[in-house]
A and B are shown apart, each in its own frame.
Chain A
Amino acid sequence: MIVYAVKVDKLVKCYPTAVAVDGITFSVGRGTTTALLGGNGAGKTTTLSILLGLLLPTTGAVRVLGEDILRHRYRVLPKMNFSSPFVDLPHRLTVRQNLLIYARLYGLTDRRERIERLSNDLQISAFLERPAGKLSAGQKTRVALAKALLNDPELLLLDEPTASLDPDTGDWVRSYLEAWRARTGATILMASHNMSEVERLCSDVMMMRAGRIVDRGSPQALIDRYGRTNLEEVFLHIARESRDVLVPVK
């Protein structure tokens, strides 16, 4: 049994004008919900993209579900999935058509049953025949989640899963994810800017700044370590530590 869902060693991603990820090493235990926190440009999305195999690192090793993602990504891709509110499903296809296509891409044979089950669970049955582009933000998020759960992933990567949702829908999505993870024992690795979400969902938090992991621990451990009252204050403390190099605006 592999203990780690994700194991990253000395990962570096350089672009011609910037270092996006600067030699990070971390692991994510199976069955946990872990957050990558950091300001814009901290390297969270770059890290997630590398884990998904969408982006090639400059150097470093990445093992996902026991496989080297750089060499054997097709062994592991059927066992993982991804959801982001910033990457919409094709607008002109209906929700059902989109889900059917992704179910086929994952080689699922019980496509209609799975879509039926997920539609009921995520309450999207009412708009299955509607074009994906004509959904509200909350509906899109639930549809994207349905797509991400089609293949019963062992590892789910989420990029700001509740961004642009109203508090009620955001809370609904968080509850769903909590229940889903508890039921399946899957691993969730998420990038988020929503501190209360992270405090509620995650047992482990990695704080990123300028492509590096600058601290790590449970939400409560981080709050205690920095002598703050909540994770948002910890986040601001860490984010602002880097600002001393900026020239103040006059």
Chain B
Amino acid sequence: MSRELRLSAGRVWAMLLRYLYLLRSSWPRTLELLYWPTLQMLIWGFMSQFLYANSSYVFRAFGVLLAAVMLWDVLFRGQLGLSMSFLEEMWARNLGHLFVTPLRPYEWVLSLLSMSMIRVLLGILPAALLAIPLYQYSIFAMGLPLVAFFAVLLIMGWALGLAICGLILRQGMGAEGLAWTVVFTISPISAVYYPVSTLPSWLQHAAWALPSTYVFEGMRTVLFSGIFRADYLLRALALDLVYLALGTTAFFVSFHNARRRGALLQMGE
């Protein structure tokens, strides 16, 4: 490994360490990571038990709603995990310190992405494991397709998160609320709990423009018929790349503009 690459990896690790220290410093925040995914899993688990006896849809595959809620959380937590670490720097007014060090913006982004993945795993793994004894349902039974679904949704969460962070860099902390709300606007058209065919035909076009739709449709195909739609995966990954490129561009353009406006020293609560 070249010296520059080693130094770069060291800076990414330094930032990751900062977010891990932050997480460790507050047990309520750590608990909050686990709380919502577990609560969601409990609600949808009981709902699934009820519908299993009363609905032919759930009867075909008990885990269809539980898997959907857990996979949706990958997207949501992926985006929120990235945005939260970014917002920590805003709340601490720390950009002025960070960017007089040799830290490059892309290294910061890499640490944000890594932290997002850690937050997703910390939040969802306990819920997924708890579902096994509680409902005799293991999302891990999906096998390798689960890894593909996880990757597609996480990358989509990153793309959204980067675009939101870019918007906050541009508009200031007034746009902070977007970090919690934007992802829910795509929830209805991602067909998380129902097939895309349920949507009006004009909305189905929008739905198929989202990587998440391919994941949830693909998940149902795996659970109902045991078939993995590789074509869905390829389209989802292609869309992911487009969205990630757009999100990354939005972030770096906003960062450059923040340097031009002098916002790196002033930005904060």
CA distance A54 to B264 in the complex (A): 7
Residues of B within 8 A of A45 (CB): 265
- Which residue, of B100, B259, B264, has the highest number of chain A Cβ atoms within 10 A? B100
Residues of B within 8 A of A82 (CB): 96-97, 100
Give the total of B residues in contact with A, Cβ under 8 Å.
31
B1-39 CB mask vs A (1 if < 8 Å, else 0) is: 000000100110111011001100110000000000000
Chain A, interface residues (CB within 8 Å), range: 20 to 34
Q: Is B262 an interface residue (CB 8 A)?
A: yes
Residues of A within 8 A of B261 (CB): 15
Residues of A within 8 A of B22 (CB): 90, 92-93
Closest Cβ of chain B to A89, distance in Å, is: 7
Closest Cβ of chain A to B176, distance in Å, is: 18
Residue of A nearest to B6 (CB): A107
- Which residue, of A82, A97, A101, has the highest number of chain B Cβ atoms within 10 A? A101
CA distance A52 to B264 in the complex (A): 11
Residue of B nearest to A132 (CB): B92
A74–B104 contact, CB under 8 A?
yes
Supposing A49-B265, A93-B18, A93-B22 touch, asked if A54 and B104 sit within 8 A by C-beta, the answer is no
Q: Is B93 an interface residue (CB 8 A)?
A: yes
CA distance A84 to B262 in the complex (A): 16
Residues 90-104 (chain A) with a chain B CB within 8 angstroms: 90-93, 97, 100-102, 104
B102–A77 contact, CB under 8 A?
yes
One of B10, B17, B93, B100 near A107 (C-beta < 8 A): B10
B234-262 CB mask vs A (1 if < 8 Å, else 0) is: 00000000000000000000000001111
How many residue-residue contacts, CB under 8 A, span A and B? 90
Q: Is B56 an interface residue (CB 8 A)?
A: no
CA distance A86 to B114 in the complex (A): 30
Residues 83-103 (chain B) with a chain A CB within 8 angstroms: 88, 92-94, 96-103
Closest Cβ of chain A to B182, distance in Å, is: 26
A54–B265 contact, CB under 8 A?
yes
A77–B14 contact, CB under 8 A?
no
Residues 60-94 (chain A) with a chain B CB within 8 angstroms: 74, 77-78, 80-82, 84, 87-93
Residues of A within 8 A of B10 (CB): 104, 107
A90–B92 contact, CB under 8 A?
yes
CA distance A133 to B187 in the complex (A): 39
- Which residue, of B11, B17, B26, B101, has the highest number of chain A Cβ atoms within 10 A? B101
Supposing A53-B100, A74-B102, A87-B93 touch, asked if A101 and B17 sit within 8 A by C-beta, the answer is yes
Residue of A nearest to B21 (CB): A97
Residues of A within 8 A of B101 (CB): 77, 102, 105-106
Residues of A within 8 A of B26 (CB): 92
CA distance A102 to B101 in the complex (A): 8
A89–B264 contact, CB under 8 A?
no
B99–A49 contact, CB under 8 A?
no
Q: Is A46 an interface residue (CB 8 A)?
A: yes
CA distance A93 to B11 in the complex (A): 17
Residues of B within 8 A of A106 (CB): 101-102
Closest Cβ of chain A to B243, distance in Å, is: 28
Residues of B within 8 A of A87 (CB): 93-94, 96-97, 265
Supposing A90-B18, A93-B18 touch, asked if A105 and B11 sit within 8 A by C-beta, the answer is yes
B207-247 CB mask vs A (1 if < 8 Å, else 0) is: 00000000000000000000000000000000000000000
Q: Is A182 an interface residue (CB 8 A)?
A: no
A55–B264 contact, CB under 8 A?
yes
Q: Is A3 an interface residue (CB 8 A)?
A: no
Residues of B within 8 A of A221 (CB): none
Q: A77-B102, A90-B88, A107-B7 are in contact. List 18 more A-B contacts (CB 8 A).
A: A15-B262, A45-B265, A54-B99, A54-B264, A54-B265, A56-B260, A81-B100, A84-B96, A87-B93, A88-B92, A90-B94, A92-B26, A93-B18, A101-B18, A105-B14, A105-B102, A106-B102, A131-B25
Nearest 8 pairs of A and B residues by beta carbon: A104-B14, A105-B101, A90-B92, A107-B7, A55-B262, A87-B96, A56-B260, A52-B100
Listed by A's residue number, 6 A-B pairs whose Cβ atoms lie within 8 Å are A46-B262, A49-B262, A54-B264, A88-B93, A92-B26, A97-B18
